[in-house]
Amino acid sequence: MTLTLADVRAAHTRIKDRIHRTPVMTSATLDAKAGARLFFKCENLQKIGAFKARGATNAVALLSEEEARRGVVTHSSGNHAAALARAAKLRGIPAYIVMPSNSPQAKFASVRRYGAEIIECEPTIASRESTAKSVAERTGATFIHPYNDARVIAGQGTAALELLEDVPDLTDILCPVGGGGLLSGVAVTAKSVNPEIRVFGVEPAGADDAARSLAAGRIMPSISPNTIADGLRSALGELTMEEIQRHVDGIVTVSESEIVNAMRTIWEVLKIIVEPSGAVGYGPLVDGQLDLAGRRVGIILTGGNLDLDALPWMKPGE
Amino acid sequence: MTLTLADVRAAHTRIKDRIHRTPVMTSATLDAKAGARLFFKCENLQKIGAFKARGATNAVALLSEEEARRGVVTHSSGNHAAALARAAKLRGIPAYIVMPSNSPQAKFASVRRYGAEIIECEPTIASRESTAKSVAERTGATFIHPYNDARVIAGQGTAALELLEDVPDLTDILCPVGGGGLLSGVAVTAKSVNPEIRVFGVEPAGADDAARSLAAGRIMPSISPNTIADGLRSALGELTMEEIQRHVDGIVTVSESEIVNAMRTIWEVLKIIVEPSGAVGYGPLVDGQLDLAGRRVGIILTGGNLDLDALPWMKPGE
């Protein structure tokens, strides 16, 4: 598969009435600190609190009537679960969400809110996959992967489409990378609109499988990822690896303290809630690791769902 | 003095290139909870993190060249201090800010950032006033009161002007009230645009001087105010009392738990940072104290400046 700008544009037409057109925020304070112009695309203010609403909505919209009737299934304990549940509800079809039994109650609640059927499984990848497979066989539901799916990637790319409509003369884009669905879609979109734009993936040093995968030229698994950015622990998929190899200029890794500082700075200065994973794109700039002086930099803030009773700066000694 | 819509419109023309046009946010989740359509005017995303940027910028813009040269002075440890310092810096004139010596370091820093001269005083109202007076005498600077000033009130009213441009068919507006500068400006504006709109002030039960003042028909002092909403501890002034008596439909008081719940709900659902005072306008709806079923309600979120290390839900037992 090769994703094209036309796919992303078609996705945007398909979903734009069902998602927020999220704002692009700027800050004179953060510009002065970076010596650059920064444009924050606020996907933390997206429906369900994360960009995942884009891809899931596009994937569900693309189902045939017959497929749709049988519903959709996925395994996820994160934002994709809520996004798929919501997309299914909007289309009026069943959603089956396989969730590890040890998921936080808040995650269960956010999925249940959209009327999805939750199937609990053991907290292992093997159990998640086998449970989802058996649900699909029993119900005939279509499996929608959180990132390794062309419909999902095209949907995520619409974030970059909007950003570049609002700020056409960007020179660089910084985008968090976990499984790579967002980064793939963003890179395809940005490079198609303007091949001169540099697109960087950003990931936690404690979950640097994307950097290792690009270096090795093949997908490296995410072994014992250790990071507060819980949305970025996945390994790349075949589709996302292909698009990232083709379009992305590099992967930057950030430390845990850069992630927490990025998150806190965004809270304090932009006055918006981002989760640790959602702030990772700003990580390379917060302490000056990456010098983008004089440039016009788009930064994708990907999500804002987190437990307000367990903020990183609440833990003494961290 | 009687403030008019023309004053507010003129203020908006004067300041609109120097402030953010803040977004109006909506949420299907909060609408469903209230049984109403809610429109949140996000002044927490305003320059300096609060609506105070509006009034201060208007007041400074209205100084004659000769007045401007001698600068401005105020006493404040809150958002008005930063707002006036910024407005003075934009015009290139001196600002003298009298601050109690026990103000938090963060407040000093936010004022210093804009190059204002800080004059420390004892942490009493008497010391604040006498120090500001002596600074004014020494420098010839113009005193800009945080709320009891027609230029300031007209500036604050521009928040309502924008809100009503974006959502013309509002039926109600909920607005926090401390000294009453914002509520005055909002009420004059809303009632002039559409006399049918109901405008309610909202204040902490622990600092209910506005409710008592309206009941008594004269300004009641704010004695030992006891509330987490530190921006709402002031008493009304003569000008704000007059406008509020003339235009406001009522004052609603909210408990401390309503304030904290309002703040937390806004963080969780809208994914934006509001300070306790800033969330007070939503207080009457968060637990259903005020029934506005079926109505279209504008809620002014006034500010987002607070210490992230001292969130109300961090304190065990609160």
What one-character-per-residue DSSP string does B239-288 give? HHHHHHHHH--EEEEE-HHHHHHHHHHIIIII-B---HHHHGGGHHHHTS
A264–chain B Cβ distance below 8 A for any pair = yes
Residues A31 and A81 in one domain: no
Q: What is the SS3 string spanning A212-253? A: HHHHHCCCCCCCCCCCCCHHHCCCCCHHHHHHHHHHCCEEEE
Residues B162 and B186 in one domain: yes
B304–chain A Cβ distance below 8 A for any pair = yes
Find the domain containing A114 and state its range.
53-143
Residues B235 and B132 in one domain: no
Name which of B25, B273, B314 is nearest A267 (Cβ-Cβ). B273
B23–chain A Cβ distance below 8 A for any pair = yes
Residues B178 and B272 in one domain: yes
A 10 A CB-CB count for A241 gives 22
Q: At what angle do helices B79-91 and B52-61 cross, to 10 degrees?
A: 40
User: What's the rounded mean pLDDT across residues B93-101?
Assistant: 95
pTM: 0.94
Structure tokens at A91: 């289309």
> What is the number of domains present in chain A?
2
- CA B84, CA B82: separation in Å to the nearest integer? 6
Residues B138 and B184 in one domain: no
Cβ density class B168-178: b for 16+ within 10 Å, e for less: eebbbbbbbbb
In this structure, the strands spanning A250-254 and A198-204 are parallel
User: Strands, DSSP E only, in chain A?
Assistant: 24-25, 37-42, 72-75, 95-100, 117-121, 142-143, 172-176, 198-204, 250-254, 296-301
> With contacts defined as CB-CB under 8 Å, which chain B residues touch A304?
271
CA angle A10, A11, A12 (to 5 degrees): 90
B271–chain A Cβ distance below 8 A for any pair = yes
Residues 6+ apart with CB under 8 A from B131: B75, B98, B119, B121
Structure tokens at A252: 């930057």
Shortest distance, CA B1 to any CA of chain A (angstroms): 36
Phi/psi of residue A233, nearest 5 degrees = -90, -10
> With contacts defined as CB-CB under 8 Å, which chain B residues touch A311?
308, 311
Residues A103 and A207 in one domain: no
pLDDT for B305 beyond 90: yes
pLDDT tens, position by position, B32-50: 999 999 999 999 999 999 9
A309–chain B Cβ distance below 8 A for any pair = yes
Of A143, A174, A207, which residue is a domain's last?
A143
Residues A156 and A253 in one domain: yes
> What does the pLDDT read at residue B107?
83
CA B88 to chain centre: 19
Residues B137 and B155 in one domain: no
Name which of A25, A45, A309 is nearest B271 (Cβ-Cβ). A45
pLDDT tens, position by position, B203-238: 999 999 999 999 999 999 988 899 999 999 999 999
Of B102, B123, B143, which residue is a domain's last?
B143
Instruction: Show pLDDT as tens, one digit a residue, over chain A (318 residues).
Output: 689 999 999 999 999 999 999 999 999 999 999 999 999 999 999 999 999 999 999 999 999 999 999 999 999 878 999 999 999 999 999 999 999 898 888 888 889 989 999 999 998 889 999 999 999 999 999 999 999 999 999 999 999 999 999 999 999 999 999 999 999 999 999 999 999 999 999 999 999 999 999 999 999 998 889 999 999 999 999 999 999 999 999 999 999 999 999 999 999 999 999 999 999 999 999 999 999 999 999 999 999 999 999 899 986 544
Name which of A25, A270, A308 is nearest B313 (Cβ-Cβ). A308
Residues B156 and B274 in one domain: yes
What are the distances in angstroms from CA A242 to CA A213, A252, B97? 11, 18, 58
> What does the pLDDT read at residue A317?
44
Q: Name the strand (E) or helix (H) holding A59.
A: helix A52-61
Task: Map tokens 């809150």 to a residue.
Answer: B78
> What does the pLDDT read at residue A316?
54
What amino acid is encoded at A180 in this protein? Answer: G
CA A39 to chain centre: 18
> What does the pLDDT read at residue A103?
84
Residue B315's pLDDT band (boundaries 50, 70, 90)? low
Structure tokens at A285: 């700039």
Residues A177 and A238 in one domain: yes
Phi/psi of residue A254, nearest 5 degrees = -125, 150
Q: Which residue of B has its CA nearest to A274?
A: B271
> What does the pLDDT read at residue B222?
86
Residues B96 and B215 in one domain: no
Contact: B308, A308; criterion CB under 8 Å: no
> What does the pLDDT read at residue A318?
41
Mutate which: A19, A271, A308, vs B, most B CBs within 10 A: A271
Do the interacting molecules here have an ipTM over 0.95? no
Residues B154 and B243 in one domain: yes
pLDDT for B318 beyond 60: no
Structure tokens at A92: 């009026």
Contact: A49, B264; criterion CB under 8 Å: no
Percent of chain B with pLDDT over 70: 98
Helices of type H across A167-230: 181-193, 209-216
User: What's the rounded mean pLDDT across residues B151-172?
Assistant: 98
What CATH number is attached to the domain comprising B247?
Answer: 3.40.50.1100
Of B113, B143, B173, which residue is a domain's last?
B143
> What does the pLDDT read at residue B78?
86
pLDDT for B111 beyond 70: yes
> What does the pLDDT read at residue A144?
98
> What does the pLDDT read at residue B1?
62
The four Cα atoms B29, B30, B31, B32 give a dihedral, to 10 degrees, of 50
